[in-house]
A and B are shown apart, each in its own frame.
Chain A
Amino acid sequence: MIKIENVSKSYVKGKKSIDNLNLEIKDGEIFGFLGPNGAGKTTTIKMITGILNIDEGDIFIDGKSITKEPIDAKKEFGFVPDSPDMFLKLKGIEYLNFLADIYGIPNEKRKERIEELTKKFEIYDNLNSEMQSYSHGMRQKVVICGALLNNPRNWILDEPMTGLDPKSSHDLKEMMRKHIKDGNTVFFSTHVLEVAEKLCDRVGIINKGKLVFVGTYEEMKNKFKENKSLEDLFLEITENEE
Chain B
Amino acid sequence: MKNKVMVLTKVIFKNSFQNMETAKSTNESKNKKSKSMIILYIFAFIYLAGIIGVFSNGLIKELIAINQEEMFLGLILLAIAIFVLIQTIFSAINLLYYSKDNEYILPLPIKPSEIVAAKTNVLLITEYSIVAILGLIPLTIYGILTSASILYYISMLIVLIAFPIIPVLISSLLVLIVMSFAKFTKNRNRFQLIATLFILVVVFALSFTMNDSTTTPEQMAQMVIKANGLVEMLRGAFPTLGMAIDGLTNVSLENQILNLFLLVVTTTVIYIIYIAVGQKLYLKGAVGNLYSGKKNKKKLDEAKAFKKSTLFKTYVGKEFKILIRNPIFLMQCVLPAILFPILIIVLTFAGMKGEQNGVEMDITSMVTNKTSIYLGVGILCAIQFFLMFIYISATAISRDGQNAVFMKYIPVPLMKQIDYKVFPNIVMTTFMNILTIVMVEYLLKLPIIYLLLITIAGIMMGVLQSYISIIVDLKKPKLEWSSEYAVVKQNMNLIWPVILGLLNITVMIILTVVVSGFINSYIFICIIAVVYLFLTMLVRNYIEKNTIKLFEKIY
Contact = CB atoms under 8 A, between A and B. Distances in A.
B322 A89 contact: yes
Interface string A92-125: 0110011111110111001100100000000011
Interface string B322-337: 1001100000000000
B299 interface: yes
Contacts of A110: 306, 308
A79 B407 CA distance: 12
B411 A103 contact: yes
Contact of B555 (A12, A51, A114): A51
B212 to A, nearest CB: 40
Nearest to A42: B555
B254 interface: no
A223 interface: no
A106 B307 CA distance: 8
Contacts of B350: none
Nearest to B322: A89
A90 B402 CA distance: 16
B318 interface: yes
B412 A102 contact: yes
Contacts of A105: 308
B358 interface: no
A52 B555 contact: yes
Interface residues of B, number: 43
A53 B408 CA distance: 10
Contact of B410 (A53, A74, A130): A74
A128 B302 CA distance: 11
Contact of A101 (B298, B311, B325, B555): B311
Nearest to B312: A101
Given A11-B24, A97-B307, A102 B555 contact: no
Interface centre among A93, A101, A111 (most CB of B within 10 A): A101
Nearest to B554: A51
A128 to B, nearest CB: 4
A225 interface: no
A133 B409 contact: no
A97 B1 CA distance: 50
B298 A129 contact: yes
A79 B409 contact: yes
A227 interface: no
B26 interface: yes
A3 to B, nearest CB: 18
Interface string B393-419: 000000010110110111111000000
B400 to A, nearest CB: 8
A130 B325 contact: yes
Interface string B468-489: 0000000000000000000000
Interface in A73-93: 74-75, 79, 81, 83, 85-87, 89-90, 93
A74 to B, nearest CB: 4
Given A100-B308, A111-B306, A126-B297, A90 B413 contact: no
Nearest to B296: A129
A199 B405 CA distance: 29
A221 B311 CA distance: 50
Given A75-B411, A107-B307, A111-B306, A128 B322 contact: no
B529 to A, nearest CB: 35
Given A51-B405, A89-B321, A11 B26 contact: yes
A86 B297 contact: no
A50 B309 contact: no
A83 B402 contact: yes
B187 to A, nearest CB: 12
Interface string B105-118: 00000000000000
Nearest to A92: B300
B310 interface: yes
A133 B292 contact: yes
A71 interface: yes
B360 interface: no
A97 B309 contact: yes
A101 B297 contact: no
Contacts of A7: none
16 contacts: A11-B26, A74-B411, A75-B411, A87-B318, A89-B326, A90-B322, A98-B314, A98-B315, A99-B410, A101-B313, A106-B308, A110-B308, A111-B306, A114-B306, A125-B297, A129-B296
Given A107-B308, A133-B292, 11 more contacts: A49-B409, A71-B413, A87-B322, A97-B309, A101-B308, A102-B311, A102-B314, A102-B412, A125-B297, A126-B297, A129-B296
Q: Which 3 A-B pairs have the closest CB atoms?
A: A74-B411, A101-B314, A111-B306
